[in-house]
Amino acid sequence: MAKAKTQAPPAQGPRWRRPEYYRVLGGKLAGVGRIEEAALAYRHCLSLEPDHALARHLLAGCPGEDVPDRAADEFVRALFHECADGFDSALAAIDYQAPARVAATTAEAVGGAGRALEILDAGCGTGLCGPLLRALARRLVGVDLSPAMLAKARARSTYDELIEAELGAYLTRAGARFDVIASADTLVYFGDLGPLVRAAAGALRSDGVLVFTVEHEPDEAAAPRGFRLHPHGRYSHTRAHVRDVLAAAELEVVSISVTDLRLERGERVEGLVVTARRCRAPVAGEQLATAG
């Protein structure tokens, strides 16, 4: 009788050797509040691939980790390359309000100047703000770091020009050419808003308007630097930080309104819709409002 062959135990599947497996695992753990375990998964991912941009940034969002002043360009590109195809449908499912809030606030700020303005959609993504801003714009420019998102925006045929660039760098070299800079849910990937807001101020014409959203951080004790990086990879900001960086950039605060931006795991995410103006008058005190 032939001797039966001893079957070897199954080898570990290739997924156990892939950095991306641990990055995805970390995201799932963070999504259910198991932050310490998520951090371990991200560290394992980085042990296999030290330059993994997604894991590095998401690890920084776990408490006790070093928090960068802004998300790295590599993180932003990787994140939006991954989610571009399903981006619009995913946002529709979470009642995403940022583009509508920014567009309505912009229209209010510019009054009856429709079709006369040069407008920058700063961090345009797939172009959700584009159709809403088009009615106000003589020329509408979109800038974004992600080529995958820009391809979606281009398909809308809404913009006069679309530019692939890091936002701060683009604003710094733009010169004072825009009447409006509008930004929906882009500054959530910047912690310290100071450098970006200064660059935006320099890209505005006299009496130009800056409108943007950030996620609101009401607990100033939890954000001693004025901002806080969360496990999902986005920053929230205190109202004091927003006010301070606008003043430092010599922008006059028109309004800072509290509103709901979207759902996160079934809960409303509270944000700030900020309007500021470039003018030579002394910086005025902020006008507070509550909306939504």
pLDDT in tens, 98-149: 999 999 999 999 987 667 899 999 999 999 999 999 999 999 999 999 999 9
Dist CA 270 CA 191 (whole Å)? 17
pLDDT of residue 9 exceeding 60, the answer is: no
Q: Is 17 buried (19+), middle (13-18) or exposed (0-12) by CB count in 10 A?
A: exposed
Band of the pLDDT at 8, cuts 50, 70, 90? Answer: very low
**Token code pair at residue 109:** 């700020």
Q: Tell me if the domain spanning 90-290 has CATH number 3.10.620.30.
A: no
For residue 91, the tally of other CB atoms under 10 A from its CB is: 19
Residue spans of the domains in the chain: they are: 14-66, 90-290
**How does pLDDT run across 40-82, given as a tens digit for each residue?**
999 999 999 999 999 999 999 998 778 999 999 999 999 999 9
Question: Would you say 275 and 210 are in contact if contact means Cβ atoms under 8 Å apart?
Answer: yes
Dist CA 119 CA 197 (whole Å)? 16
pLDDT of residue 12 exceeding 80, the answer is: no
φ/ψ of 109, rounded to 5, equals -70, -35
What is the average pLDDT value for the chain, to the nearest integer?
Answer: 90
Question: Would you say 126 and 85 are in contact if contact means Cβ atoms under 8 Å apart?
Answer: no
Band of the pLDDT at 282, cuts 50, 70, 90? Answer: very low
* Percentage of the chain lying above the pLDDT 90 cut: 81
Q: What confidence score (pLDDT) does residue 166 get?
A: 98
Q: What confidence score (pLDDT) does residue 116 get?
A: 87
pLDDT of residue 250 exceeding 60, the answer is: yes
Dist CA 211 CA 185 (whole Å)? 11
Q: What is the DSSP string of 73-107?
A: HHHHHHHHHHHSTTHHHHHHHTT--HHHHHHHHHH
Band of the pLDDT at 264, cuts 50, 70, 90? Answer: confident
Residue 164, beta-bridge partner list: 144
Whole-prediction pTM value? Answer: 0.89
**How does pLDDT run across 76-100, given as a tens digit for each residue?**
999 999 999 999 999 989 999 999 9
pLDDT of residue 288 exceeding 50, the answer is: no
